[in-house]
Structure 1
């Protein structure tokens, strides 16, 4: 995992989780407590509510990214930039200032007058953005998006049949598309990746967000620090049946889990609370790295066959090897004696091991390949083996 130096702030596995507080100078932004059009008031908010509460980075947005609003042009954003520039000149606290924009011209102007980082919600859809960030030698957060400046985050709207292949488009799921979108349009040496949580398009579902969160570790295979923006998001609120103003507890729970799963930057409106939750997640993260006599040993973060496939694929190794390398262990309950006997027989025929623990409960162990072979052959009159086969296949594929 490569670390990124953001104007002297280290971001990566070897550094504490970083908190990105949010300031908006856009009248359209839906979160009123963070919206300002007066530089003096905005600076006081940054000092007292963001930096003093523990924000390492302050992300300033010039327009709302909400898909309900019209997209501003680069010239419109530039007209608003003066408020952001006057704000950071008036801030007394110490933080890294990030400009949220999709336009290279806006990023260039902001970086030339005091900003130190870019948050590109369109994932380098502006082809000049990587060059601008590289020329200024700044960190840049790149959100998974189609190559379209007007459709941030809407990865499923990408023509994947053309961008990848028709076969890949048919078999890919939403998280696969997010992963691939992060790779599109290249990266700079200081790129931080954002898997785009939130309802960026009508086609993106809450379950898409939940599945992205479940599989967050897979994005570590790309070797870049991760930024997540999950604060008070709908996919968390629905779980606890909470409205936006009641979602702080679920956001904090998810923050700890996100850090444990590999997130390095947490973007939030609730800085102090999020900082504490991130520190808990970091403290109990089990990730090993050691350096001695010029030798560095790093334990890769792999918790599933999917994650192992991703790590191998990004290193140019056939990901199919993962299916034979990774051993799966399942505990199964609820099968009648006839179905249990059939399952154990099929397991033995395919190089897996089945062991009855008690009546109706036993363990099944084998490589991913062997378990997938078994899942394809499970059938019985009751239909329970058919369901078991589908469940096994869904977990492993």
Structure 2
């Protein structure tokens, strides 16, 4: 996993999770507390409610990306840029300033006028965007989207989201955003939840990950909360997202989100990472997560099943059944460990266990247990 330098701010596995606060100069934006058209008021908000509360990055939006609103042209976004520039020039605190846009012209103008990072909500649908970000040597958050400047984030299936992130390639300082939220009519809350469950897979590209999950519907619906009541569910998800590999969390609730991210980071699994020795333990817990790294490295897909281990307890087996299972498990690369009672542990790679469940010949009781294990491996 590479680290990214965003105007001196380190982002990646070697750094703590970063908090991206939000400022909108778009009158149509749905979140009123973050919307300003007066540069002085905007600067005060950034200092007091974002930077002082723990924001490392301030993301400035020129228009709402809500699909209910008409998409602004690059010229219309540029008309709003003066307010954004004046606001960030008046901020006294220290943060990295990111411009949220889909147009390379807007990104370039913003970078010339003091912005230090780009948040591309259309994921390089503008093919000139990566060139601009490379030319200015800035970090860029790339949200998974179709190749259409009017349809940010409008992808549903997790596999499609993963593939969409490849659109027009990557820069050396790309940060990946899997696009949580209702970006299209076809995208369901369960689609978002499936993306969240599989968040570690997005590490397969080897770039840092940004998540924008603050008070999102796919979380609120689980707890039956309104937007105003949804902070606790957002914080729970933030800790989980960081534990699953997210490096940047975009939020309107900076102080509380920072605390949640700190907890997620503190309880993340320790993994060996020593660039000097050329070794990194990958964050892999499922076969699909492993497949992403296998694909990245150009390794045969068949190896993915032999990179993750599963452990099962089987009970109420007599001695003959245990002996039969142990003998055959070994031939397929799995292991059986017996305890002092009638329980045993069966463990091995997913590949080994799959081969055992397919090839086992023995007592019906064991065959039934192995059949259920085989189903769970799929």
Distance in 1, Cα, partners of 2:41 & 2:357: 61
User: Which residue matches 2:168?
Assistant: 185
Contact 1:374 1:389 in 2 (8 A): no
Tell me what 1:322 maps to: 304
Structure 1 CA distance, aligned partners of 2:127 and 2:107? 13
Distance 1:387 1:65 in 2: 48
Asked whether the equivalents of residues 350 and 377 of structure 2 are also in contact (C-alpha less than 8 Å), the reply is no
In 1, the alpha carbon distance for the partners of 2:159 and 2:340 equals 39
Distance 1:198 1:192 in 2: 18
Deviation at 1:151, TM superposition (A): 0.9
SS in 1 for 2:301: coil
Aligned to 1:220: 203
Q: Which residue is equivalent to 1:79?
A: 79
Structure 1 position 312 matched with structure 2 position 294: yes
**1:64 paired residue number:** 64
Segments of structure 2 that go 5 or more residues without pairing to the other structure are none
The alpha-carbon deviation at position 328 of structure 1 amounts to: 2.4
Kindly tell me: are residues 374 and 153 of structure 1, through their superposed partners in 2, closer, same or farther at Cα, counting changes over 3 Å? Answer: farther
| Aligned-pair CA distance for 1:344 | 5.8
Ranges in structure 1 where 5+ consecutive residues have no aligned partner: 157-173
Q: Structure 1 pair 148/361, CA: closer, same or farther in 2 (3 Å)?
A: farther
What SS does the aligned partner of 2:5 have? strand
Q: Deviations over 1:290-342 (max 9, x none)?
A: 46xx4343222122222222212111111211223433223468x999xx99x
* Aligned match for 2:193, one of 210, 213, 231: 210
> What TM-score, normalized by structure 2, do the two folds share?
0.88
Counterpart residue number, 2:24: 24
Q: Secondary structure at the match of 2:285?
A: coil
Q: Say if 2:99 and 2:118, in contact at 8 Å, map to a contact too.
A: yes
Q: CA RMSD in A?
A: 2.8
Task: Tell me which of 357, 372, 377 is aligned to 1:388.
Answer: 372
**Among 179, 182, 190, which residue is 1:196 paired with?**
179
1:255 aligned partner:
238
Q: How does 1:227-266 map to 2 (within 5 A)?
A: 227-266=210-249
Post-superposition CA distance 1:149-199 (Å, at most 9, x none): 11111124xxxxxxxxxxxxxxxxx22111111122100111011011111
User: What per-residue deviation string (whole Å, max 9, x for no partner) do you get for residues 196-247 of structure 1?
Assistant: 1111112211111112111111111211111111111111112211111111
Contact 1:310 1:319 in 2 (8 A): no
**CA distances 1:64-98 after superposition (whole Å, capped 9, x unpaired):** 11111111111111111111111111111111110
CA contact (8 A) 2:274 2:280 kept: yes
User: What TM-score do you get using the length of structure 1 for normalisation?
Assistant: 0.84
Count of matched residue pairs: 369
Matched with 1:289 is 273
Structure 2 Cα separation of the partners of residues 332 and 209 of structure 1? 35
CA contact (8 A) 2:314 2:369 kept: no
Contact 1:17 1:278 (8 Å CA) reproduced: yes
Q: Answer yes or no: is 1:270 the counterpart of 2:270.
A: no
CA distance in 2, matches of 1:371, 1:203: 37
Distance 1:228 1:209 in 2: 12
Asked if the contact 1:125–1:148 (Cα under 8 Å) also holds between the matched residues in 2, the reply is yes
* Distance change (3 Å), C-alpha of 1:375 and 1:22: farther
Partner Cα separation in structure 1 for residue 38 and residue 358 of structure 2: 63
Q: Secondary structure at the match of 1:244?
A: coil
* Distance of 1:359 and 1:376 partners within structure 2: 27
Q: How far has the Cα of 1:375 moved from its partner?
A: 6.3
Paired residues of 1:21 and 1:268 also in contact (CA < 8 A): yes
Match of 1:102 in 2: 102
Does structure 1 conserve the Cα–Cα contact (< 8 Å) formed by 2:290 and 2:307? no
* Contact map agreement 1:39 1:84 (CA 8 A) in 2: yes
Check conservation: 2:313, 2:344, Cα contact below 8 A: yes
Deviation for aligned residue 1:353:
5.4
Question: Equivalences for 1:46-65 in 2 at 5 Å?
Answer: 46-65=46-65
Q: Match for 1:367 among 349, 356, 363?
A: 349
Moved more, 366-375 or 26-35: 366-375
